[in-house]
Structure 1
Amino acid sequence: MRCQPERGHLVYIWTKNNQFCALCDEPSGVERDLCGPCEDELPWLHDQCSICALPLLVDGMACGECLQRPPAFTRVETPWRYDFPLDALVTRFKHQGKWPLGRLLADGLARHLLHAYGEGLPRPDCLLPVPLAKRRLRQRGFNQATLLARWLGAQLQLPVDEQLLRRTLETPPQQDLDAATRQRNLRKAFALSHQVELRGRHVALVDDVLTTGATTQSLARLLRKAGAARVDVYCLARTAKPGD
């Protein structure tokens, strides 16, 4: 007795399934979980700092912070501002384990990066997910940055090194802390897990949201000290300054 359907008589074709939008719950009309109108309503990031992607009133200029204290990373690439309704999608992915939403957002970031490569952005040699503290990894069950890096690596055809960066210190939650406090918390919080030849290489850090940049700054400084020639940051969204 055969349990599988005969060839040419599939009982279910998932690529033909009518997808429903993750935001409005209406049929999306496409093979993605986001309909066209809702995708247009996402908080796309346009005018931004040319280095850290901080939302600005004018595009193509560096913000005052980057001019006064240039970061160790070269450029931040992100398609969105961290605002409604994108923040709800990120929260559901990150804190509720809704992996399909994370994959949906990773697809958008991959399309943004492919366009940027076409406009002249240098492609990195590999992707490095921002490491998560062991306690938080046990609580959450996964590292959202690792998942994003895997999905991006597959679409961009770039290798992913999930083991190079490790978190050596448990730090308190960073969400409600200012930049100076975050930076103090992250001193000596990261290390390289193994020796690798980084001299002259171009790497890209992958994370979900860039807030103050303290984490990426610490990691970029570590990588540059190890010989990396360039460190970029790829993330889903960038927050504005409080009050902006």
Structure 2
Amino acid sequence: MFAQLSALLPSACALCGEHGKLVVCAACHAAFLNVRLTRCMQCALPLPREDTGGSSRCGACLTDTPAFDHTVAACNYAAPLDQLVLNLKFAHHLALAPVFSAVLRDAILEQRGTPLPDLLTMVPLGQNRLAERGFNQALEIARPLARHLGISLEPLLLNRSRETAQQSGLHPDDRQKNVRNAFMLAPAMLDRIKGRHIGIVDDVMTTGTTLNEIAAMLKRFGAARVSNYVFARTLPH
């Protein structure tokens, strides 16, 4: 019955508006979501193909090594894909979350030889923002991703110890102060992370400050490795 109703309801590609059954049509998927770049293995910023210098890490990560070990980004946070992220986060287009998850899964599995995490979690929202929005977009992406990869998801692994301002609205110099000591490990989860590889899911990685703060905290409590899995990576201005 649901399939029959779905066939009768109008549907359009979230990018081009073409009518069809897919949230993102095959043409837009091929043009925008199937593009692979050579990226820094640690922060996922694009690297020039012809000038990696024999390293898979960018100069910034070699100079000032982040607390996290690895980052997979499915795409860049740029037009037109940035609008998809905004539609998920602020327009409640939850049908986009499984699309993001599937594209991220493909990007992860293409990195052969890179170990998968022992468990997944996501960047938590503060209670005020969660109540205002009604959902955590990172969790909506993480749920199907965990199923795709066959990895346990621990949505209550992390908590915010205090409300923070939106990172996107802050000057880069203020972002570290904003998230410093803002995340806690749930006490019941201490034994779940010791000596293990933890994967953190988020929709967008901007400067990496939030993910770095989380990784540093997890390693203080005994995590052996921390990897980030993000749908989109913001490019430096």
Q: TM-score, normalised by structure 1?
A: 0.86
Aligned residues: CA RMSD: 2.2
Q: Which residue of 1 aligns with 2:29?
A: 39
Q: CA deviation at 1:194?
A: 1.7
- Give 3-state SS (helix, strand or coil) of 1:41's partner: helix
Measured in 2, the distance between the counterparts of 1:23 and 1:76 equals 26
Partner of 2:131: 138
How many residue pairs get matched?
Answer: 230
Alpha-carbon deviation of 1:16? 10
Which 4+ runs in 1 deviate beyond 6 A? 15-18
CA distance in 2, matches of 1:192, 1:143: 18
Equivalent-residue separation in structure 1 for 2:156 and 2:3 (angstroms)? 42
1:65-87 CA-to-partner distances (Å, cap 9, x unmatched) read 21111111111001100011110
Contact 2:41 2:72 in 1 (8 A): no
Instruction: For 1:118-133, list aligned pairs within 5 A.
Output: 119-133=112-126
SS in 2 for 1:162: coil
Distance 1:95 1:13, change over 3 A: closer
Bigger RCO (CA 8 Å, 6+ sep) = 2
Match for residue 234 of structure 1 among 223, 226, 229:
229
User: What is the percent sequence identity of the aligned residues?
Assistant: 37
Query: What's the offset of the Cα at 1:230?
Result: 0.5
Matches within 5 A, 1:4-83: 12=4, 14=6, 20-28=12-20, 32-42=22-32, 44-58=35-49, 61-83=56-78
Unaligned runs of 5+ in 1: none
Q: Partners in 1 of 2:176 and 2:123 — Cα distance? A: 15
Q: CA deviation at 1:14?
A: 4.7
How do residues 144-223 of structure 1 correspond to structure 2 at under 5 angstroms? Answer: 144-195=137-188, 196-197=190-191, 198-223=193-218
Structure 2 gaps of 5+ residues are: none
Question: Relative to 1, partners in 2 of residues 1:24 and 1:199: Cα closer, same or farther, differing over 3 Å?
Answer: same
Higher mean alpha-carbon deviation, 201-210 vs 154-163, is at 154-163
Shift of 1:18: 8.8
The 2-side partners of 1:188 and 1:24 are apart by 42
Following superposition, the deviation at residue 57 of structure 1 comes to: 2.3
Q: Offset of 1:179 from its aligned partner?
A: 3.3
- The residue identity in structure 1 corresponding to 2:149 is L
- Aligned mates of 2:229, 2:74 — CA distance in 1: 9
Which SS does the other structure have where 2:227 is aligned? strand
Q: Is the 8 A contact 1:89 1:101 kept in 2?
A: yes
The 2-side partners of 1:171 and 1:19 are apart by 37
Confirm or deny: 8 A CA contact 2:142 2:201 kept in the other structure: yes
Q: 1:13 to 1:194 in 2, by over 3 A?
A: same
State TM-score, norm by structure 2. Answer: 0.89
Give the superposition deviation at 1:39.
1.3
Judge which range, 128-137 or 60-69, deviates more: 60-69
Write the distance in 2 (CA, Å) between the matches of 1:200 and 1:141. Answer: 34
Give the SS at the match of 1:203.
Answer: strand
* Counterparts in 2 of 1:165 and 1:141: CA distance versus 1, 3 Å: same
Paired with 2:9 and 2:158, the residues of 1 have a C-alpha distance of 40
Q: Tell whether the 8 Å contact from 2:199 to 2:229 is kept in structure 1 after alignment.
A: yes
Partners of 1:92 and 1:105 in 2: how far apart? 12
SS in 2 for 1:209: strand
CA distance in 2, matches of 1:207, 1:146: 8
**Paired letter, 2:14:** A
